[in-house]
Amino acid sequence: MKVIVCENYDEMSAKAFEVMKELLDAKKDAVLGLATGSSPVGLYKEMIQYHKDGYSYKDIKSYNLDEYVGIDRKDPQSYYTFMYENLFKDIDIDLNNTHVPYGSTEADCKAYEDALSEVSIDLQVLGIGQNGHIGFNEPGTPFETLTHIVDLTENTREANARFFDNDINKVPTQAISMGIGTIMKSKKVLLVANGENKADAVKAEDRKSTRLNSSHLYISYAVFCLK
Ligand code: GLP
């Protein structure tokens, strides 16, 4: 895993976009894996600017990592709404080509995994939770896990309460998430981690990537912002 350490959020976003741009320029019909959270928002702004500068996303496909269970797609707190507001509405991607998992059952998980098995993600963007969660895979989730329903930990719900009026009781208790096994099928993985409080999590992923790279591709680049 190549770790690119940056001084500030803007530099982190620009570096992450360099990785993304290389793919976008090489493959007009690339398949992107996308993530929510505050860390990739600057990358998405760069992607929007690239569209304003003339790039067309009309043949690009996207697949998101995760979604809360029990929240309507149109709810302001849904990850679908997050993606729409922070990226999709400002680029010319065909909304039929965007995919965000949805549902609460085994069949919903299988349907998402089946859809993913028909494509090959060229670049998966990841954020990381302070405790090291990837998507909604908590540390210790077996690496072979595919899309599944997760019971969110207290720690993750507390961390995400900032998006729910700082009220942990409003944070859903479950999510549907790609598993690490799903993510590891991607051709490349770009981890975007913002803030000093993510340093330990990034270091742990670096160790894991080194260990796993002998047989699998895991995280290819981590763009980490110190502040
Ligand atoms: C949520 C998402 C994760 C994301 C994490 C960190 O829990 N499910 O995919 O990585 O938040 O978000 P942030 O970048 O805002 O710290």
The beta-strand segments (E) located in 47-199 are 61-64, 66-68, 98-99, 123-126, 148-151, 174-177, 189-194
Return the structure tokens found at 125.
């963007």
Given a cut of 60, whether residue 111 has pLDDT beyond it is yes
Question: How much is the average pLDDT of 174-190?
Answer: 95
Q: Quote the ligand 1 centre to 90 CA distance (angstroms).
A: 22
- Ligand 1 site, residue 171, Cβ cutoff 6 A: no
Q: Name the nearest CA neighbour of 208 among 112, 122, 111, 141.
A: 141
Residue nearest to atom 6 of ligand 1 (CA): 129
Given a cut of 80, whether residue 214 has pLDDT beyond it is no
Structure confidence at residue 82 (pLDDT): 97
**Lowest model confidence (mean pLDDT) among 5-14, 79-88, 213-222:** 213-222
- Ligand 1 site, residue 136, Cβ cutoff 6 A: yes
- pTM value is 0.94
Given a cut of 70, whether residue 216 has pLDDT beyond it is no
Q: Quote the ligand 1 centre to 29 CA distance (angstroms).
A: 27
Given a cut of 70, whether residue 26 has pLDDT beyond it is yes
Please identify every residue annotated as catalytic: 66, 131, 133, 138
